[in-house]
Structure formats: C-alpha cells, structure tokens
Amino acid sequence: MAHVGFVVEGQPFVIPTLYGRREETLFLHGSAASRMLREGEKGIPLCVTVTLVDALVLARSAFHHSMNYRSVVAFGTARLIADAAEKREALRCISEQVLAGRWEEVRPPSEQELKATAVLEFGIEEASAKVRTGPPMDDEEDYALPVWAGILPLPVVAQGPVADPRLGEGIGVAGSVIRKRSVIRGQKGRWD
C-alpha cells in the first residue's frame, strides 16, 4: 500500500492506494473522478510513501521505544496516461504488483472500465529509504533497570484462501494464489 501526498489550495491530502512499479516509474490508479488523480495529472508535486512495519521495539524507558521498519519516500510529478494500450499495460503492472500472475487469470478491463479509471505515471525524481532493525537502544544506565525490553515482531502472515461465496462450483484456487502459497510456505509463519 502506498500513500500519496499532495497539496491543493494550501490543504494537504494523503490518499492510500495500490501501485505498480517499473524501474523508476510508479503507476497510480483510481476513479477518473478522484481528486488525487485529477490534481496529479496537472503536474503538481507528489510525494509517495510506502512503509512496512516489522516489529515494535520496546525499551526500558518510554523515550527509547521505537519500531523496526522499512520505508521509502519518493518525490516527483505525474502525467495522465491517455493511450488505451499504455493504460492497460500500467493496470497490468499494478495487478502484477498485487499478485504476480493474476492478470493472466482474470478478464481484462472493458472499454467502459478503462474510461472510468484514471492512471498516472509517476516519475521518481528523488527518493530516500530508511530502515530500522535490531533491539532497543537504551541509555547505558537504564540497562540495569528490572524492566523487560526487546522486540515484538509483527509479521504480515497470509492465511489460507477463502473462496467468494458466489464462486461457481468446481472452480479451484487460482494458480497465482497457489504460487504465492508455495512462496509463503518456505517462509516463517507459513500457511497450511
């Protein structure tokens, strides 16, 4: 999940959205009526952030509590993708970012859906990444305190797939989901 920040007439906005990435380009999409997309297509500066929280870092003092995380902040401007073939390719990129292989399993967007969807191509002009790992960093004198300290991991763990209640009889789990499941099984916190 990305969060896109922008300012309109002095009012800041931050909008959560799915995204796709190809090299130094991000693709952002939504309703053609979306304020974020209407403003973004004007070439205003945008800020796109993605953060993954890995653990709570619990110190001996309240001051030194933290989180282990991975984050990136990207700055740039965007352009509206008007060409239908280019828009389809950008939507495919977003779909593949969500779940690799899914685009080939589903019905592609109809002409009406393409008209109702706006897609921005966001060029990353500048970016910075920040990572925090490891245990708490207490003041030296606090290490003697009789207070538990350490980290509390917060893994994102996929669970078993749950079929849509309206799924037709005899339709098995999609290949993209099965492939993702095999990757997850090889990691800590597998799903069975």
- pLDDT tens track for 8-61: 999 999 999 999 999 999 999 999 899 999 999 999 999 999 999 999 999 999
Question: Smallest Cα–Cα separation from 16: which of 38, 49, 40, 44?
Answer: 49
pLDDT value at residue 158: 80
pLDDT tens column, 39-53:
999 999 999 999 999
Longest CA–CA span in the chain (Å) reads 67
Are 37 and 82 found together in one domain?
A: yes
For 74, counting Cβ atoms within 10 Å of its Cβ (0-12 exposed, 13-18 middle, 19+ buried), the class is buried
Check whether residue 69 and residue 163 sit in a common domain.
no
| pLDDT confidence tier of residue 7, bands split at 50, 70 and 90 | very high
148 and 172 share a domain? no
28, 105: one domain: yes
Torsion angle, alpha carbons of 6, 11, 12, 18, to 10: -60
- 176 phi and psi, to 5 degrees? -60, -35
Alpha carbon 13 to chain centroid, angstroms: 18
128 with 168, same domain: the answer is no
91 plus 186 within the same structural domain: no
Helices H / strands E in the chain, number of each: 4, 8
Radius of gyration for the alpha carbons in the chain, expressed in angstroms and rounded = 21
Residue whose C-alpha is closest to residue 92's, from 70, 72, 117: 117
Q: 147 and 161 in one domain?
A: no
| Residue tagged 């922008």 (tokens) | 6
Total domain count, the chain? 2
For the domain that residue 67 is a member of, what is the CATH number? 2.30.110.10
Same domain, 29 and 73: yes
Give residue-wise pLDDT tens across range 155-183.
Answer: 988 888 999 999 999 999 999 998 887 76
Q: Same domain for 174 and 185?
A: yes
Q: Which domain holds residue 82?
A: 2-154
SS3 readout for 53-105: EEEEEECCCHHHCEEEEEEEEEEEEEEECCCHHHHHHHHHHHHHHHCCCCHHH
77 and 134, same domain (yes or no): yes
pLDDT given for residue 54 in this prediction = 97
Q: What letter represents residue 56's amino acid?
A: L
State how far the Cα of 93 lies from the Cα of 87, in Å rounded to an integer.
Answer: 10
- Per the DSSP assignment, residues forming a β-bridge with 53 are 69
Within this chain, do residues 101 and 21 fall inside the same structural domain, yes or no?
yes
All residues at 6 or more sequence positions from 127 whose CB lies less than 8 Å from its CB, including other chains: 72, 73, 74, 75
179 and 101 within one domain = no
